[in-house]
Structure 1
Amino acid sequence: MNDPIRSGLAGGWRHLDASLLTRNLTTLEADVVIVGTGAGGGVTAELLSAAGLRVVLVEEGPLRSSADFKMREADAYPELYQESAARKTSDKAINILQGRCVGGSTTVNWTSSFRTPPEVFDYWQRRFGLRQLSSTAMSSWFAVMESKLSVRAWETPPNPNNRVLAAGSEQLGIATGSIRRNVKGCWNLGYCGMGCPTNAKQSMLLTTIPAALARGATLCTRLRAERLRFVGNRISALECLALQADGIRPSGRRVQLRARHFVVAAGAIGSPALLLRSGVPDPQRLLGSRTFLHPVVISAALMPDRVDAYAGAPQSIYSDHFLHQAPIDGPLGFKLEAAPLHPVLYATTLHGFGEAHVRLMREFTHANVLLALLRDGFHPESRGGQVRLGSDGLPVLDYPLGETIWEAARRALLAMAEIQFAAGARWVSPVHEAAPGYTSWPEARKGIAELPLKPFVCRVVSAHVMGGCAMADGAQRGVVDHRGRHFWLENLSVHDGSVFPTSLGVNPQLSIYGLTARNASLLAADLLGRPPPLIP
């Protein structure tokens, strides 16, 4: 199979692996420096390079390609994820899955693609004055990116894992829908979280980054953006640390990048951390605040027949039924999805220990897992978390789990258990250290209602990080404006999920693609002095 990354490198792409540097480098200059190569950085790089601007991309992780993706967890997690897929909040109560490689989380996500819900845009307009953003105003940007990245209906029948959600919901009269996916020629393997080995996933690794490199952009990998240098209201340079081959420890070599404009797209933990390290103006102390995760609670079930949840499209069925039971700023709603299962992910997320854990692992092929994504950030008591810097200058996320979240978590665990039993489950248990597991819905309803819900006892995970550099209509309540432009530094933009002022209630990649396409086009127009270029 052709490997477009290796072919491009052989054809002359400009790629600097900073782990190979033998001296400091202070001569790299560009029109625009982009920190991060995920959904925001990738789209920005392609659009700006297509407009004729010289672009340099900075990525902390490695450059990998389909030839490296062997469908093995032991390889994928250390190579492609932040902290080997073990990143956690400061109190260790929430595990966070985030990409750390060229393409960012788009390289390892499960391809689920949703537009930003209309009610979220409406809330942003009311609460943050973002009148320029609405479903109508953004629809063309979403449509362009959907076409470009092959976001379309998944017509292959759902795998048994997703059929549990569909069948149980149908029995209970709960509406479900089919998830659109950004894939082309998908082999339906089910190993999306380890990097697509067939180049079917239309991630930034396969689409926008190669397009930018083909137009002369420069990609720097294993290079950590350390600090933005600025004088007055303009950034003059980005100081970077080269990392060793392990991609973790600095090598001692330094790189300085200069540009007319700087775009930060390091994700909703990395972007506020870089701005905090840089000491950029933040008079309202908003940087890193209101960072949102979609806290996720999990319900596991054992089905009568084999599920083999590792095989087939990871996510193809969803339900938004429980997102609309109350006003958006009322009790937290939640989105239901199924999760793929692979042995390491299953074993490390599963509750219990010793013989009880072994018994569940023996039933691995019969296991189904449902997820509830809690929509945080709208209720007055759900303020998300705070990104701060640790003693080593690296980001730390504080994320308190209050009663507002636990109340929604209990409703979600009850809803998922009922659906799983309605689909024929012979045993259901919340992923909770005190849950014995239940063999009937009446037993589960009584048991879950009485479970103590608190950190470490009830397992909480997330793969969606948003906020921390929020958009608003002014510097009193936001870090950037609706275009992603920083309120205090005139040549700084933020183009990633950190600009969302709340969570979304949906998987965020398409929201980032659409908003970034808009804002990168506006930026290109500003830098070139002419109307925005068409998206290629």
Structure 2
Amino acid sequence: MSEARNDFIPDPIRQGIARGWRIVDGATLEADRTLEADVVIVGSGAGGGVTAEILALAGLQVLVVEEGALRSSKDFKMREADAYPALYQESAARQTLDKGIKILQGRTVGGSTVVNWTSSFRTPPSTLDYWRSRFGLDGFGEQAMAPWFAMMEARLHIGDWQAAPNENNALLGRGAARLGISSGLIRRNVNGCWNLGYCGMGCPTNAKQSMLVTTIPSALDHGAQLVTRVRAERFEIEGERVQSLLCTALQPDGVAPTGRQLRLRAKHYVVAGGAINSPALLLRSNAPDPHGLLGKRTFLHPTLISAGIFPQRVDAYAGAPQTVYSDHFLHTAPIDGPLGYKLEAPPLHPVLLSTTMNGFGQDHAAMMRQFPHIQGMLALLRDGFHDDSPGGSVQLKDGAAVLDYPLNDLLWDGARRALLSMAEIQFAAGASTVRPAHETARAYASWSEARREIAALPQALHMTRVASAHVMGGCTMAGDERRGVVAPDGRYRGLANLSVHDGSLFPTSIGANPQLSIYGVTARLASGLAQELTGQPAPRPEAA
């Protein structure tokens, strides 16, 4: 995007600042401060953003604290070198404790909603049924949740994508069709999308209906206060109540402390920092955890990658990032059987591709020279529904959050099946060669060769490349206190004035991109909280 487009694309962030939004930038604080509100919300992503708007609309004084910086569309230059350090946790290099899984998470006002690829799915009914039967979440069935999903779909302009899929996605659909494998089209949360394909670097046109341009501006327009570049360190707890939240101000790089501290006081606190940072904050705070559940059952969709080389140009960086999917392999076994997986096509950009694929030296350079002809495919393993898939655990290392996520035989079996499925589809779509993301894999020239070789690949840590952009669980919500630290109303058990409103609530992975699940669940919880705190029915946010 040229600088000239800044002249005619409205910037709702700068407009709001000009209207008098109340914003404190921790990097500029010259002294320690104490701030007060009715409700303090930690995190401004999918859960925090939805909660902030609903509580502010209810007339409550809301304060949102965010570790990342406040950016706007004028900061989004469609360049990986700019976006990853500015918008992602650990400059898009966050990993599990054993370095076996790369994790992409947002770290900016709006959280991961600013950098995700806009894919929007309701929580699968089979997942909701499992939560009901195993975790006592009787009020979260398909019919009960449908109005909340519908409300957030209207609010965030979630709907069918009207343009044709780009070639990267179309190849997934064509290959699946030739094999008799069902596929579908992905709904997206966009309004007036320019079909650029750079969603992962922040939307430069404000088309993506992230929290940055929807719920956070609405909350600020209704009197909320936003505190940025401030790290939530720990809650001060007395008895069964949180008395305050202690925070550290960060320098402009968003990493090093400035030496200034903030104390945030409120009647109620909402933790919405995401499924790694939320459990970590509560662990640092020594929150009640009589059954040793806090930080446990943290789930990813462990994701496998396959790259197909095609005779025609694919240009996988251009056009809407994700528009085609297949759930065929989610349904080939019982939900609590061998791990199923969802197939999608990721956008490919040079840094993301080159650091994800295996190989080095001339071999790696030869692959990158074929960049315009590479089609990417992802398989997202549905974890958490089997006795042998307990997920990972959030731990503290020198006070910082780390995720330990052991990969066992059940997961490696799913990985092998997924790599085989993707290769078969890519060859059916016309690929000249297919190369799984695996340290000892090479480019295979036929499906028969790929089938034989992939079946023999050693599936092991640091051999098979695994990534994930979806983190769930760690503050499990359940009907029974022996199964979850959070009650079905979102309240943290043992602390009367603390709630959790983000993806850390989920008892398992979703089996689909989780943003709409977070929107729907937290809208319901926030509406209930607003009614409890005000005594009045919660207002509905207006549709986008």
Flag whether TM exceeds 0.5 (same fold): yes
Whether contact under 8 Å (1:474, 1:487) holds in the other structure is no
Match of 2:233 in 1: 226
Which letter does structure 1 place at the counterpart of 2:47?
G
* C-alpha separation in 1, matches of 2:228 and 2:214: 18
Q: Which of 65, 89, 97 is the matching residue for 1:90?
A: 97
User: Which whole-Å deviations, capped at 9, do the CAs of 1:341-367 have from their partners, x for residues lacking one?
Assistant: 001101111110000000000000000
SS of 1:329's equivalent in the other structure is coil
| From 405, 420, 425, the counterpart of 1:419 | 425
Establish whether residue 353 from structure 1 lines up as the match of residue 354 from structure 2: no
2:15 counterpart residue number:
7
Matches within 5 A, 1:215-364: 215-364=222-371
What is the distance in 1 between the residues matched to 2:481 and 2:238?
20
Cα distance between partner residues in 2 of 1:62 and 1:339:
26
Give the SS at the match of 1:482.
coil
Q: CA separation in 1, counterparts of 2:337 and 2:170?
A: 30
Match of 2:203 in 1: 196
Partner of 1:208: 215
**Whole-Å Cα distance in 2 between the matches of residues 141 and 239 of structure 1?**
33
Residue 19 (structure 1) aligned with residue 31 (structure 2): no
**Distance in 1 separating the partners of 2:175 and 2:155:** 35
Q: Deviations over 1:447-503 (max 9, x none)?
A: 000000111111000000000000001211101011211111010000000000000
Q: Deviations over 1:122-179 (max 9, x none)?
A: 1001101111110100000000100110000001000000011000000000000000
Q: Quote the Cα distance in structure 2 between the aligned partners of 1:331 and 1:433.
A: 24
Distance in 2 (alpha carbons) for counterparts of 1:470 and 1:310 = 36
The answer as to whether partners of 1:129 and 1:473 remain within 8 angstroms in 2 is yes
**Separation in structure 2 between the aligned mates of residue 211 and residue 246 of structure 1, nearest angstrom:** 27
Over 2 Å off, 4+ runs: 530-536
d(CA) in 2 for partners of 1:533, 1:86: 40
For 1:105-504, what aligned pairs fall within 5 Å after superposition? 105-391=112-398, 393-504=399-510
CA distance in 2, matches of 1:478, 1:290: 10
Which one-letter code corresponds to 1:120 in the other structure? T
Q: TM-score, normalised by structure 1?
A: 0.99
Give, in whole Å, the separation in 2 of the partners of 1:54 and 1:383: 39
1:484–1:519: 8 Å Cα contact kept in structure 2? yes
**8 Å contact kept, 2:54–2:538:** no
Alpha-carbon separation, structure 1, partners of 2:480 and 2:385: 19
Task: Answer yes or no: is the 8 Å Cα contact 1:525–1:533 preserved in 2.
Answer: no
Q: Deviation of residue 530 (structure 1)?
A: 2.6
Partner residue, 1:74: 81
Instruction: For 2:540 and 2:109, locate their aligned partners in 1 and report how far apart those are by CA, in whole Å.
Output: 25
Query: What one-letter code is carried by the residue in structure 1 that aligns with 2:527?
Result: S
**d(CA) in 2 for partners of 1:155, 1:239:** 47
State the one-letter code of the partner of 1:39. A
**Equivalent position SS for 1:448:** helix
Measured in 1, the distance between the counterparts of 2:238 and 2:457 equals 55
Report the AA paired with residue 482 of structure 1: P
Q: Distance in 2 between matches of 1:297 and 1:525?
A: 43
> Percent same amino acid among aligned pairs?
65
Read off the aligned partner of 2:24 and give its amino acid letter: L
Moved more, 360-369 or 482-491: 482-491
Residue 10 of structure 1: how far off its partner (Å): 1.4
Supply the AA of the counterpart residue of 2:381.
Answer: L
| C-alpha distance in structure 1 between counterparts of 2:447 and 2:133, whole Å | 41
What's the secondary structure of 2:435's corresponding residue? strand
**Corresponding residue number in structure 2 for 1:523:** 529
Q: Please state how far the C-alpha of 1:532 moved relative to its aligned partner.
A: 3.1
> Which residue is 1:43 aligned to?
50
Q: Secondary structure at the match of 1:132?
A: helix
CA distance in 2, matches of 1:486, 1:109: 28
- Unmatched tracts of structure 2, length 5 or more: 1-8
TM-score by length of 2: 0.98
In structure 2, what residue type is equivalent to 1:54?
Answer: Q
Query: The residue matched to 1:257 in structure 2 has which SS?
Result: strand
Per-residue Cα deviation, 1:213-266 (whole angstroms, up to 9, x for no partner): 011110000000001111111111000000111100111100000000000000
Instruction: Tell me the distance in 2 between the aligned counterparts of 1:505 and 1:128.
Output: 17
**Equivalence for 1:510:** 516
Q: For residue 99 of structure 1, report the CA deviation from its aligned partner.
A: 0.1
Mapped to 1, the partners of 2:152 and 2:225 lie a distance apart of: 23
Structure 1 range deviating more: 493-502 or 477-486: 477-486
Give SS of 1:268's match. coil
Alignment check: 8 A CA contact 1:388 1:397 kept: yes
- For 1:312-348, what per-residue CA distance to the aligned partner results, in whole angstroms no more than 9, with x for missing partners? 0000000000000111100000000001000110111
Shift of 1:535: 3.3
* Matches of 1:531 and 1:198, distance apart in 2: 35
Give distance in 2, aligned partners of 1:223 and 1:436: 45
Structure-1 residue corresponding to 2:65: 58
